[in-house]
Amino acid sequence: MKISATDLNKIYKKEQALNHLSLTLEGNKIIGLLGKNGAGKTTLMRLIAGHFQPTSGQLEINGQSPFNHYSITRDVCLIQENYNFYEKFTIDDILKISAVFYPNWNASEAEELVTLFKLKRKRKISALSKGMLSAVGIIVGLASHSPITIFDEPYIGLDASYRSTFYDLLLQSYQEDPRLIILSTHLIDEVSKLFEEVAILHDGKLLLHEKAEDLAENHCIVSGPVKEVDKAIEGKQVLHQSTLLGQKTAILYDQEIDGNYDSLTFSKASIQELFVYLTKEEVVKHGDRN
Amino acid sequence: MTERLNEDQPIFIQIAELIETSIVEGDRLANEQVPSTNEFAKHYQINPATAAKGINLLVDQGILFKKRGVGMFVTEDAKQIILAKRQERFYTHYVQPLLQEAKRISLTQEQLLDFIKEGFSHED
């Protein structure tokens, strides 16, 4: 499957949610779609699922627009944070409808998952707790076996233990049936090891899209005595730096350090740390503002 | 292989090093099978492609070989290759930081050597 966005714009509720976004996601991979609140992630995922049309630009799946094309959208399963299911339906109803809607639906897998998450099939959606609702979303997402499966913050209300179960299930399901899985979450530290690729949106644009391993290789944290660090990072683009007790730490992205520095140590940041440094708004002290 | 992964190094390198360590320590002998990509992925909750990259790194270095349809196995020379590699970097990875800290806290050469001798005498 191939999702391609070209110069994609979406104005949603009078806000420019996506701003000339170009991005290609393809292959059977688990891809992390990251971004701060309001970066445009949910808008992009809903465009992929065909919920609405772009304001301008193209969004295509295998060369076709998903909007109003069931031949495309039946291959896409989007599980959102909430409002996935009609409130008056029971879990049983949801499973039956999903079986009709998703061509690759795996009923026995869905059954097993209902048991695993200890759900009561006769319960109405409106009577479920947040955690149980998330579990239903996860079950539908996994059992759909959709060629494009998208989870947008799928585990609100799920505790750390069930979240870990979800990661196990996701990996297992992916290994048995490799497909394009897009996972969007703010709990980056928990899931970053699951990603093969990472795409970060910022202000409706693509900030970066890389293999997770390359992201790890393309940056470094340099620390050591202030003078030495300053010498090493002179003229480089620095993501973040801080100094304390005569020691300095600087994070570089996409930059080589040349030369030999005995007194410096080099280490790696997590994807979550990198994400924070790449997208964070700096706090300005009162009085420093112009 | 129950060591935890950390953030300091790319995960695929840590996977490669875990396998190397198990070979050096004699947990895995020549011609024995190592865990599959899927087993690593499941155990460490990591992407299978990441695990595969770590394993392939060792294939490239002649430490593992692939038996088609069966899995990955330890080569005859694996242990020698790993020993040579790790001995070569021992000075920069372990001795240099040791000396740096010794200097920082004013340990003399004699005191340092005594520590090392003491350490060796506890070995058996």
Strands (E), A68-176: 76-79, 148-152
Tens-digit pLDDT profile for residues A181-216: 999 999 998 899 999 999 999 999 999 999 988 888
Judging contacts by C-beta atoms under 8 Å, the chain A residues touching residue B96 are 262
Q: Are the C-beta atoms of A35 and A279 separated by less than 8 Å?
A: yes
CA distance A196 to chain B (A): 6
Q: Which has the closest alpha carbon to A180: A161, A199, A162?
A: A199
Nearest to A193 among B8, B47, B53 (CB): B47
Is B5 inside a domain boundary?
Answer: no
Strands (E), chain B: 64-67, 71-74
Is B98 inside a domain boundary?
Answer: yes
Number of Cβ within 10 Å of residue A230's Cβ equals 14
Q: Are the C-beta atoms of A147 and A86 separated by less than 8 Å?
A: no
Q: Where are the domains of chain A?
A: 2-214, 218-279
Phi-psi region of A76 (alpha: psi -120 to 50; beta: other; left: phi over 0): beta
Whether B59 and B97 map to the same domain: the answer is: no
Give the total number of structural domains in chain B: 2
Q: Are the C-beta atoms of A198 and A236 separated by less than 8 Å?
A: no
A181 CA to centre of own chain: 10
CA distance A191 to chain B (A): 8
Tens-digit pLDDT profile for residues A13-24: 899 999 999 999
Average pLDDT, chain A: 91
Whether B71 and B95 map to the same domain: the answer is: no
CA distance B10 to chain A (A): 6
Beta bridge partners of B73: B33, B65
Q: What per-residue confidence (pLDDT) applies to A273?
A: 87
ipTM of the complex: 0.79
- CA dihedral for A203, A205, A208, A210, sign (positive or negative): positive
Tens-digit pLDDT profile for residues A35-69: 999 899 999 999 999 999 999 999 999 999 999 99
Whether B29 and B53 map to the same domain: the answer is: yes
Contact between B45 and A196 using a beta-carbon 8 Å cutoff:
no
Is B93 inside a domain boundary?
Answer: yes
Mean pLDDT of A136-149: 97
Is B6 inside a domain boundary?
Answer: no
Whether B113 and B73 map to the same domain: the answer is: no
Tens-digit pLDDT profile for residues B98-121: 998 999 999 999 999 999 999 998
Nearest to B46 among A194, A217, A267 (CB): A194
Whether B15 and B65 map to the same domain: the answer is: yes
Is B83 inside a domain boundary?
Answer: no
CA distance B67 to chain A (A): 20
Whether B51 and B19 map to the same domain: the answer is: yes
Q: What per-residue confidence (pLDDT) applies to A290?
A: 47
Q: What per-residue confidence (pLDDT) applies to A287?
A: 57
Q: Which has the closest alpha carbon to A23: A51, A56, A60?
A: A60
Q: Is B50 on the interface with A (CB under 8 A)?
A: yes
Please give the Cα distance from A212 to B47 (Å, whole number).
Answer: 10
Percentage with pLDDT > 90 across chain A = 67
Number of Cβ within 10 Å of residue B44's Cβ equals 20
Q: What per-residue confidence (pLDDT) applies to A288?
A: 56
Whether B29 and B74 map to the same domain: the answer is: yes
* Residue of A171, A218, A247 to mutate when probing chain B, most B C-beta within 10 A: A171
Q: Are the C-beta atoms of A142 and A169 separated by less than 8 Å?
A: yes
Range of the domain at B97: 89-122
| DSSP-derived secondary structure letter, A39 | S
B10, closest residue in chain A (CA to CA): A216
Q: Which has the closest alpha carbon to A279: A103, A39, A20?
A: A39
A213, closest residue in chain B (CA to CA): B10
The token pair that represents B58 in the structure block: 């060792």
Please give the Cα distance from A133 to A78 (Å, whole number).
Answer: 15
Return contacts of A256-264, CB within 8 angstroms, 24+ apart: A257/A220, A257/A222, A257/A232, A257/A233, A259/A232, A261/A224, A261/A228, A261/A231, A261/A232, A262/B96, A263/A224, A263/A225, A263/A228, A264/A222, A264/A223, A264/A224, A264/A228, A264/A229, A264/A232
Torsion over CA of A67, A72, A76 and A81, rounded to 10 degrees?
A: 10
CATH superfamily entry for domain A2-214 = P-loop containing nucleotide triphosphate hydrolases (3.40.50.300)
Residue A133 CB contacts under 8 Å (≥ 6 apart), including other chains = A82, A84, A85, A125, A156, A157
Contact between B45 and A212 using a beta-carbon 8 Å cutoff:
no
Helical pair A160-176 and B37-44, crossing angle rounded to 10 deg: 170
Contact between A193 and B44 using a beta-carbon 8 Å cutoff:
yes
